[in-house]
Structure 1
Amino acid sequence: MDLAVLRPGELTGADREVWRALQSEARALGAPQLANPFLAPEFTLAVGRCRPGVRIAVVHEGAGPVAYLPFERTALGVGRAIGLGLSDAQGVVHRPGFHWDAQELIRACGLSVLEFDHLVEGQEPFGSRKFPVFGSPVVDVDRGFDAYLRQLRARSSKFVRTTFAKERKLGRDVAPVRFVHDERDPAVLRTLMRWKSAQYRRTGRSDRFAHPWIVRLMEQLFHTRTESFTGLLSVLYAGDRPVAAHFGLRSPSVLACWFPAYDPRFARFSPGLVLHLRMAEAAAADALAYLDLGRGAKDYKNSLKTRELTVHEGMVMRRHPVALGHVARRAPVRALRHAVLARPELSGPADRLLKRVGRLRTGR
């Protein structure tokens, strides 16, 4: 395998252009999952400015590159998909017809093991068919917003009716409602992160924004704007007051939904749902194909989705002591989490326990 492992700063402008071209052609060539902005060079380069172990494997065949695999590597050779735990799409971005040997690939990358938690479809050389499968709900808007609303109404006319009624009530009771699809004020991004941190603490989850590198990554991506990639902040306002916001990543065909949050003082108006419907409307107007809501079962995702993609979670490993030790540490935790998520009689009590911890943490 003719492969070079590069640091982010070593990726040439020509490499980035080929990478972007592979993504731009992916949807027309039957691999729309590769058009996800989490698989774009801009995301990898932003993570590389915040994390020291980022590397990019560039595979060449003939005259030029045919595949790119971004990953993070420890000094011991443990590999993680780029942004593991944060990114909602991972894998090799490649030319149609390119096939690889997983063992040969990770060996050439200097890895003993490579771990994924959102491996997209079409990555069979990694053995993804043997990995656990998870649904990633999407909102299709390629036929326009009105067509999407008709599909929602056919499934639950009450949901659509009550959500728009709450939007009107918010306008009457608080202030006129307006939606900004591409908000450029960084102060609103900081407001969103405060809301999300409070939500994590309130629900007993780990606060991602307690990690300075994640805050830096958000700020980097907010200011990243190219023809093929944008960090997109969308905001629902009541008057001049933001009541719900979302930060995600946009490619020419996909809006990857990432961090939504709202001001809990306005929860009775369901501002998060209103925001997502307005985001879908704006995405349709911009000729996007779909919004990817990301892996995970949530009531709001079930209400909004039109279908589901699938992503995989698993590890590719060589017979190596470091790999065996890593799997021994990680596998039991993953197995327990999967068992809880798969059984409602366990996931319900677990969620209530986390919320109880959150109340103790916040003193409520």
Structure 2
Amino acid sequence: MPSFSRIRAIAEKEVFHILRDSRTLVIIFLMPLLQLIIFGYAMNMEIRQVPLLVDDLAMNSSSRALVDAFVNTDYFQLVPKEAGTLQPDELFRERRAQASLSIPKDFGASEHRVLLRIDASDPNSAQMIQNYALGIVNSTGIQTDAGIDLRAQILYNPDLKSSFFFVPGLIALILVMVCALLTSISISREKEMGTMEQILVSPVSATEILFGKVIPYLVLGLLDALIILAVGMLLFQVPFRGDFSVFLLFTFLYVLTSLCLGLLVSTVAKTQQAAMMMALGMTLLPTLLLSGYMFPISSMPVILQKLTYIIPASYYLQIIRGIMLKGNNIAQLYQAGLSLLGMSVLMLIVAARRFKLRLS
């Protein structure tokens, strides 16, 4: 039976190491904030100020109303008249225009069609430009030949802000990277500093050592989560529509899972450098590519969809997006939470057994 007093002694020793190691303090407090700010602004998928070339042959009230509808948004800006003397294809090649709007002479009288040409060398941007343009045209009330009035209601993110999608994902990415990194180097540090021998001769079991190592970082991981959440909501105006206690509960499970992953790495790596490389390799790319952070899991090949089951962030992304954007409660999220709990218990058991072998 693990002794609470021995676990507390190991935990106090780890806190002392944390306070003395400036590198650990940087990883805990500075690195998450820098990652949030850099990734948050760099991964903004929204498009603003698209250079738009307008060829208005109608020059009537209807055509001017349509052009004004484009200009009066933050999505498009008119190409200057002097540049408009060039051929549209030349402007596209020189990246001085990304879209062109051609309005025929009879527009507003017998003709309601316009031609929108878009530079699709960047297909994602082209798709977004097309969506913006269609939304603007529909907002003008111009009737189509089909006469169908289709109205869409956008739920949870009516302005389609990409920050609503990426910031919760950044919280998941940063937490798993930082937490796994911290515990992965904790045992490796003991080996390099030569203090592991002192632990070996003391009456402390492998389980007590691992618990003592995890507890300080568990508290710091939760503190990190609160800081990242607050900064993300402040800088990027992301809403929080759920119950804060539910957020804390599931974040606790996610941080615990990430820490146990780091412990598992630390039982394999022999040096701090190797531990850091392994921790980053097991968290960064899998979280970016296979968790649903950047690409929908449903659009992946079946084999990759199966791999997402072993990625902790894939479960936490369901949780945090559900809490922050939809206001989900435990009843809608408990399955993902149980998956995180099962992963943390499994990794802790494997890490404890491997550590016992190392001790013996």
Q: TM-score by structure 2 length? A: 0.24
Greater share of strand: 1
As a proportion of its length, which structure holds more helix?
2
